[in-house]
Amino acid sequence: MSAGKRVLTALSLVAIVFGLSGCSSSDQEELQEWMTQQRNATKPKVEPLPEPTKFSPQPYGQEGSIEPFSNQKLTQALKRESSQATANAALIAPELSRRKEPLEAYPLDAIVMVGSLIKVGQPVALVRIDNLIYQARVGNYLGQNYGRITKVTETDLALREIVQDAAGEWIERTATLQLLEGSK
């Protein structure tokens, strides 16, 4: 290392030492004092909790009525349930005993109505499933929910389905397939 570089390095070290000595403890004392003032000046705001509502007991007014867990109440509920089960069985029983048609193997959302025509005076819907065209008439079954076609027009096909609701009861609902415009 040359003498010039040594002198330059020594001067750099002296400058760094003087620079660091400028950060004396007096600056830190000022900072500590300012932080203490700020802590003392800051007061936390704590909102008081609301008063609890007073409990007022209410008298029981159902003393003369039927007890909810009595045999009489249970008997009424079972009668109601058995009559509903009979009605549900009557709705689904004919569907379970008949022979399935080919278009019942596909879900309704996979079936597309692509046209309609009149054949022997009766309207016929043309539906596409897996790129094959089928003819569907009033009375035919369609979809996996026991859907029976009730009406065919030029623009749509209406059907009645039998499905289970959230409680497991069999109910009837209507569904519609509309003509797909611009279909291939």
DSSP state of 141: E
- The class of domain 103-178 in CATH terms is mainly beta
Q: Domain coordinates of the chain in residue numbers?
A: 103-178
pLDDT score of 92: 82
Residue 70 amino acid letter = S
Q: How far apart are CA 144 and CA 125, in angstroms?
A: 18
pLDDT in tens, 40-57: 888 878 888 899 899 989
Instruction: Tell me the pTM.
Output: 0.53
Across residues 151-180, what is the average pLDDT?
89
Sign of the alpha-carbon dihedral angle for 84, 97, 103, 137: negative
Q: How far apart are the C-alpha atoms of 158 and 153, rounded to whole Å?
A: 9
C-alpha dihedral, 183 to 125 to 153 to 149, nearest 10°: -130
User: Tokens 């369609």 identify what position?
Assistant: 142
